Amino acid sequence: MKAKSDVVVIGAGPYGLSAAAHLNAHGVNVRVFGETMSFWDRNMPEGMCLRSPWEASQLSDPARSLTIDAFQTASGVPVSRPIPIARFVAYGRWFQSHAVPNLEQRKVVEIEKDTAGFRVVLADGEAVRCGRVVIAGGIGPFAVRPPQFAGLPRELASHSSEHRDLNRFRGKRVVVIGGGQSALESAALLQERQAEIELVIRESVVRWTWQRPWLHTFRPVGAVLYAWPDVGPAFISHAVARPDLYRLLPRWLQDSWYVKSTRPNGVGWLKPRLRDVPISVGLAVLSATARGNQVELKLSDGWRGQVDHVLMATGYRVDLRKYEFLSGSLVSELRMIEGCPVLGRGFESSVPGLHFLGAPAARSYGPLMRFVAGADFAARAVAQSVVCARRTIVGWPIADALRSRRVAAPRTPEGT
Ligand SMILES: Cc1cc2nc3c(=O)[nH]c(=O)nc-3n(C[C@H](O)[C@H](O)[C@H](O)COP(=O)(O)OP(=O)(O)OC[C@H]3O[C@@H](n4cnc5c(N)ncnc54)[C@H](O)[C@@H]3O)c2cc1C
């Protein structure tokens, strides 16, 4: 068992790194675990570009100085727009080396409560005791695999998050399922890698955003319609950009705007790359059966046929029970709604001292938390909450001593 630390941060993606940068700057005794930008590096396809605009793809440090612009200058290599994933990963690594040099690239296997707070157990057996844990473990474990494909081996049907290199599908017949950016971009990348591709979308249309970029970028108009993170439809985007206000809206309105802001869609710059991809809309896969090295699909319009692979770009649904490192007893103490933690100020859950950042925070703080753009708000809020709690704890012994002197004073003569 190692020495105690005040805070443990789990995760070294945009949220974990940003939170750690702020905690470090406040002089908090923090240990940070995770692999730098690992989800972006291993679980997204090579050649992908970020859908989020430049301003909304920044990690957060207190001085807002470790920006993509600063990275560009420091590296001497320009970053193009839309931002290529390899450059974003490199930016994350550069950010980490400057703001979170204390990162330990180690895996957490268990978190449990103990008398003084928490016990965080690492894969190599070391256990760290700490007063608070900030979980920024990402969406990896929440990948949705529709039940129709449950019986198929991964060689025949896989989730989009299982692939970095799509070259293995060269010359294969692949059906991509889904209508969001991930499905549309995977289809474009597969087509460019000479796969024979078809896109099957449940919705009746393909939705596009940024079809007229000037509506987002031309200052007077763009600034009225869309807030800087550009998450959500026109006008609603301004509420989404202010998570502290968003939280105050009636639940029904939060839910309605959440749905509108996270609807599957593609960014306009992708459209020309899909010109030659056959897209079937309004269709569902009814069944998928393994036939040798192929999958037989039956679609809701009656079509039946065999393909080499099904790529499920079917998104992610938060369910905290899928974080393997959360002990069963801790999960049972968490107040959750539909798998999401109910969070209070400073992203703190119903278990005092346990904070959740990123997508798990989206039910409490809104859709911005599903995007990199939410990292600045989240990192500042969690750091402030940690620092305030520390002040209270530091002030406690003094206040306690004064209180007990006041209470003890009249007793002294009686007792003597
Ligand atoms: C295909 C795709 C494209 C996307 N494009 C965009 C985009 O363009 N713009 C945008 O804003 N958002 C985009 N997103 C959403 C994006 O995933 C999130 O915004 C972002 O990753 C959230 O960051 P995070 O820090 O919460 O999680 P992640 O980046 O997933 O980081 C999770 C971290 O937790 C660590 N970790 C996990 N488990 C453990 C453990 N047991 N022990 C130690 N460490 C652990 C990992 O090593 C990693 O460092 C995209 C998502 C997908 C799937």
Per residue in 214-252, pLDDT (tens digit) is: 888 887 888 999 999 999 999 999 999 999 999 999 999
- Report the separation in Å between the CA atom of 343 and the middle of ligand 1, taken as the mean of its atom positions: 20
Look at residues 128, 67, 134, 62 and name the one whose alpha carbon lies nearest to residue 94.
Answer: 67
Give the CA diameter of the chain.
95
Indicate if the pLDDT at residue 414 is higher than 50. no
What confidence score (pLDDT) does residue 63 get? Answer: 97
Indicate if the pLDDT at residue 274 is higher than 60. yes
Indicate if the pLDDT at residue 400 is higher than 60. no
Rounded to whole angstroms, the Cα distance separating 209 from 63 reads 32
Q: How big is the CA angle at 371 (ends 324 and 67), to the nearest 5 degrees?
A: 115
* Mean pLDDT confidence for 351-355: 98
Which H or E run includes 415?
A: helix 375-415
- Report the separation in Å between the CA atom of 87 and the middle of ligand 1, taken as the mean of its atom positions: 15
Q: In this structure, are strands 266-267 and 208-209 parallel, antiparallel, or unpaired?
A: parallel
What confidence score (pLDDT) does residue 3 get? Answer: 54
Residue 106 CA: which ligand 1 atom is closest? 43
| Percent of the chain with pLDDT strictly greater than 90 | 88
- Report the separation in Å between the CA atom of 275 and the middle of ligand 1, taken as the mean of its atom positions: 30
Tokens 């003084």 belong to 116
Rounded to whole angstroms, the Cα distance separating 289 from 297 reads 7
pLDDT in tens, 26-56: 999 999 999 999 999 999 999 999 999 999 9
pLDDT in tens, 9-30: 999 999 999 999 999 999 999 9
Sign (positive or negative) of CA dihedral 318, 323, 326, 329: positive
Pocket-forming residues, ligand 1, beta carbon under 6 Å: 10-16, 33-35, 38-40, 44, 50-52, 57, 107-108, 136-140, 182, 325, 358, 371-373
Rounded to whole angstroms, the Cα distance separating 306 from 293 reads 10
Strand partners, 253: none
Q: Whole-structure pTM over 0.85, yes or no?
A: yes
pLDDT in tens, 289-316: 999 999 999 999 999 999 999 999 999 9
- Report the separation in Å between the CA atom of 230 and the middle of ligand 1, taken as the mean of its atom positions: 19
- Report the separation in Å between the CA atom of 173 and the middle of ligand 1, taken as the mean of its atom positions: 29
Cis peptide before 243 (omega within 30 of 0): no
Query: What is the overall mean pLDDT for the chain?
Result: 93
pLDDT in tens, 164-221: 999 999 999 999 999 999 999 999 999 999 999 999 999 999 999 988 888 888 878 8
Residue 12 CA: which ligand 1 atom is closest? 49
Using 50, 70 and 90 to split pLDDT, how confident is the model at 393?
low
What confidence score (pLDDT) does residue 2 get? Answer: 53
Indicate if the pLDDT at residue 116 is higher than 90. no
